[in-house]
Structure 1
Amino acid sequence: MLIGEVARHSGVSPRMLRHYDALGLVRPTGRTVGGYREYSAEDVRRIFHVEGLRSLGLSLKQIGRALEDPAFTPSDLVSDLIRWTEERLERERRLLDRLRAIDASAPMDWQDVLHTVELMQGLDSASAARRQQAVLVRPDGVPVPAEVLAGAVLAESDPNVAGALRWALARSGGEGVAALAAGTHAEDVDVRRRAVLAITELADSPGASALLADALGDPDPTVRRYAALALGRRGVSGAVPTLVGMVVEGRNDVEAAEVLRTLYRDHGCAERITAALARELAAPAADSATRIRLSQALVELPGDAARGILRRLAHDDDRAVALVASAFAGLLDERFPEAGWEEAGRGEAGGDEDG
Structure 2
Amino acid sequence: MLEPNVAQRAHDTPRNDVPTKRSGMSFPERHPYLFWQIIGWSLLLVDFIFVVIAVFNDFGEWCYPIIVFTFIGVLFAIIGSPFLIYFTRKSQVPDTRTSAEERVIRNDITTIVMLRNKAYGTLTGVAAVALVLVLAYVTYILGERGHILPGFISMVFMVVVPCIVCSQYLAFIRKRFMEVPDAARLVDVREDYYLSDLRRSRIPILPLPTPPSDAMLDFLYNWLHRYLMGDRLALITLTRSDLRRIGIVLVDGSIGDTEDDIDANAPLIAIPERQLDLSGANRAQFDKECRAIGAFVLPQREADAGVHAEGMA
Instruction: State the TM-score, normalized to the length of structure 2.
Output: 0.24
Q: Which has the higher helix share?
A: 1
Q: Which has the higher strand share?
A: 2
Q: Report which structure shows greater RCO (CA 8 Å, sep ≥6).
A: 2
Larger Rg: 1
Instruction: State the TM-score, normalized to the length of structure 1.
Output: 0.22
